[in-house]
Amino acid sequence: MQPKFHEVKRASELAIVVGVQFGKIDDRAFSDSLEELKELVYSAEAKVVGTLTQKRPSPDSRTFIGTGKVDELKSMKEATGANLIVFDDMLSSAQVRNLEKELEIKVIDRGNLILDIFAKRATTSEAKIQVELAQLQYLLPRLTNMWSHFSKQVGGIGTRGPGETQLEVDRRIIKTKIATLKERLEKVDRQRATQRKRRQDVYKIALVGYTNAGKSTVFNLLTKAGVWADDLLFCTLDAVTRFLPLNSKNRIVISDTVGFIQKIPHELVASFQSTLDEVRYADLLLHIVDISHPNPIDHYEKTNAVLDEIGAGQVPRLLILNKSDLISAEEIPSIDLNFPPAHIFSVSAKTHVGMDNFLNFLTTFVEKEIGARMGIAKKTDGKARNSYR
């Protein structure tokens, strides 16, 4: 029986990472992206044994990097015993095919790698459906150059029409599977919509932030939920929701959500719409930033960009500068001059430093928000009643 796309079996892999710095990319951004790629490789349980970089104005249409660099990769492969090459940018299926032919080694790109990590982390039925859908949508436009036999006309009993190529068969099978998965996700969406209606009187908070910012650690500290938290990228795929035990008479729930990252395959964002609804429909976002990271401002801005992209840009938020125990107070940068200073909190979810101050503010803030909402509701209700007099 063929394994499902979301099932990933992995032996230990030795990887060479490849980054190309194009004209307008500055050194800092290029370096950060490549370091992040190495973290992704580690999160996929592989080991980085080499790094190759190149500066060029545009990618080579055939192999993405120049012929000299391809030869250099061959030498690195022989010297390190690598059995995997990971590019930091998206490759076309033709580029992957050409590189694998030249190098005689498996070649993937960042998008492939992220999808693979998601497949490995997916545990619930919904997450597995979302990941498999993303993988199939990622695969479909890349099929053309993946088959050496796609030009052969073949016929088969019950599986293909007369004269269909293997490529056409595969496309048809994948499109049918995509349609089935979308139907299953639409059912999940309807269930979530029903759940939201039932929770209309509940104040909803969602944790957001760049991957590995410490969202799950903050979530566990606030709720005692015990969800998996580790120094790895994408520990959380499913939105986990718990009641938040603040000193409040109101019902409050908080959700831990999937982390964001740069250069994420758009197929993943599209597939995880139902999970991201927890962010879109929240009353308040707690934006968690790893303040000990070399470039926290970049992570902050990229998270904001994703929030805008998914339609959550206008949701009120508080900014939590996490992992403050790893740096001195003087090293904490000014994240955003337009962000209200009273809504920025420096904490350590690991040592609990700053958490009491934050929780006191959060309790007061939520009470005021709920009070204001109830006041608006009463005024609206009063106007509605008066209109019938």
- Structural domains of the chain in order of their starting residue, each with its CATH number: 13-118 (3.40.50.11060), 124-185 (no CATH), 200-377 (3.40.50.300)
Query: Does residue 387 register a pLDDT over 60?
Result: no
Query: Does residue 76 register a pLDDT over 90?
Result: yes
Query: Does residue 246 register a pLDDT over 60?
Result: yes
Give the least confident one: 192-206, 232-246, 291-305: 232-246
Contact 236, 226 (CB under 8 A): no
**What per-residue confidence (pLDDT) applies to 159?**
38
- pTM for the model stands at 0.78
**What per-residue confidence (pLDDT) applies to 233?**
55
Of 338 and 8, the structure prediction assigns the larger pLDDT to: 338
**pLDDT, tens digit, for every residue of 329-368?**
777 655 554 667 778 899 999 999 999 999 999 999 998 9
**pLDDT, tens digit, for every residue of 11-70?**
478 999 999 999 888 898 899 999 999 999 998 889 999 999 999 999 999 999 999 999
**What per-residue confidence (pLDDT) applies to 61?**
95
Mean pLDDT rounded to a whole number for the chain: 82
